[in-house]
Amino acid sequence: MTSLVSSTTGALAGTTALPGDKSISHRSLLLGALAVGETVVHGLLEGEDVLNTVEAIRKLGAQAERDEAGVWHIHGVGIGGLREPDQVIDYGNSGTGARLLLGVLAGHPITAFITGDASLCSRPMNRVAGPLSDFGARFVTREGGRLPLAVTGATDPMPITYRLPVASAQVKSAVLLAGLNAPGFTTVIEPEPTRDHTELMLRHFGAEIDISDGDDGAAHIRLTGQPELSGQRVVVPGDPSSAAFPAVAAAISAGSDITLMRIGMNPRRTGLFETLLEMGANIERLNERTEAGEPVADLRIRGGRLNGVEVPPERAPRMIDEYPVLAMAASVAAGDTVMRGVKELRVKESDRLAAVAQGLSACGVSVEEGEDYLIVHGNAGPAPGGGTVATDLDHRIAMSFLVLGAASEKSVTVDDAGPIDTSFPGFVDLMNGLGASIGAGNR
């Protein structure tokens, strides 16, 4: 394990670009593998999670190569053309990648074995295995629906209509990807809106997707099966979930003034920025435009005083990954910040609700944790700090508390920073380049 220590240095300043969006990177590779012809991807996130998807599609028969300019070229095999892999597919720490791939595999008559690291092997897969079984796929899992697992895709996949019991872009996406090789219409009924990167990218590759409002108030997302997807050019915007860390670090450090370039501004991903604005943060969108169907902007963030707020529970699907770093902003705000409807955090890479509560307590911040809520009692200024935080193999917990250290009276230590590279390679260098002070701790 490699520990890191984050210490306050005052204001942050500078302009920087962020790694590519992880959600879009995964999807560009998977759809590129299912398309006919060449897909060219600019700005692909080259973290461990996404590189595991590169290895997965190679094992399934697609070609994926990076040129000297850092551009990726994927030569797909067409829907239905995947080959049975000779080796186990290891997804490391990536729950998103594993669940999306299960959707792809469910519609192909091949058998594959999927595993991951200790964290991923502790996370449930039943929420995707259930609806994917309705297509005709078969799963053999460990107790509790956990990895490692074996999946045999349907020989003759049948389209389904599936109503999401909980808001989950991963489950929605898995069902739509499985429906690509089924005849007729596959429909996902979505009572609460979640990330729509899959729908946007399916359209970009040539699939027919119809979205309508049902009489029940839910969105009905209908995919026409067995399309011929064509290779496309994809420009991956900067990941708003990654942008959350330098954005919060600047917002909670007085005098800071940073600009983050080319950040994806999909409305279903901007819940954190809306919440920070409600807390009084100074955030400007500059040079707004659209790239490959996704809204993009440069973000200027200046430091200042924040106030506690109550975050609407219905906002959770649009910022579920950002609650840990929001809790860091809440710890230096004036008043209480109340986050409800966040039980999904308990089944991420770690139990993030528990990890955040324990870490904040170790850093002298008063916090209340419930099964489905977190209340942070703000310090109206720098947090005491001084704690050592257990990251539980969770990259977002590690990065969040390194952000807190930038605005704490005493340094904050995270016990294991290794998982950060799964989603944000170069995080420490980027933060230090803006003026943070993050360095190696004791091993």
- Clarify whether 415 is annotated catalytic: no
DSSP conformation letters of 129-186: HHHHHHTT-EEEEETTTEEEEEEE--SS----EEE-SS--HHHHHHHHHHHTTSSSEE
**Chain position carrying tokens 């995947």:** 82
The sheet with strand 233-235 has its strands ordered as 63-66, 72-75, 38-42, 233-235
Whole-angstrom distance between the N-terminal and C-terminal Cα of the chain?
A: 7
Helical axes 352-362 vs 323-332, angle rounded to 10°: 30
* Spatial separation of the C-alpha atoms in residues 74 and 226, rounded to whole Å: 20
For residue 400, the surrounding DSSP H or E stretch is helix 395-405
Per the listing, tokens 């409002």 go with 213
H or E element: which one contains 26?
helix 22-34
Radius of gyration of the chain (CA): 21
Buried b (16+ CB within 10 A) or exposed e, 122-134: bbebebbbebbbb
Give me the catalytic one of 49, 298, 321, 421: 321
Number of residues in the chain: 443
Residue 263 CA to residue 281 CA, distance in Å, equals: 18
198: tokens are 């899959």
Distance CA(443)–CA(441), nearest Å, equals 6
- Helix axis angle for 95-106 and 22-34, nearest 10°, is 20
Tell me, letter by letter, the H, E, C secondary structure of 272-329.
HHHHHHHCCCEEEEEEEEEECCEEEEEEEEECCCCECCEECHHHHHHCHHHHHHHHHH
Alpha-carbon distances of 176 from 106, 116, 258, 292, rounded to whole Å: 11, 23, 39, 20
Catalytic residue numbers, as ranges: 321
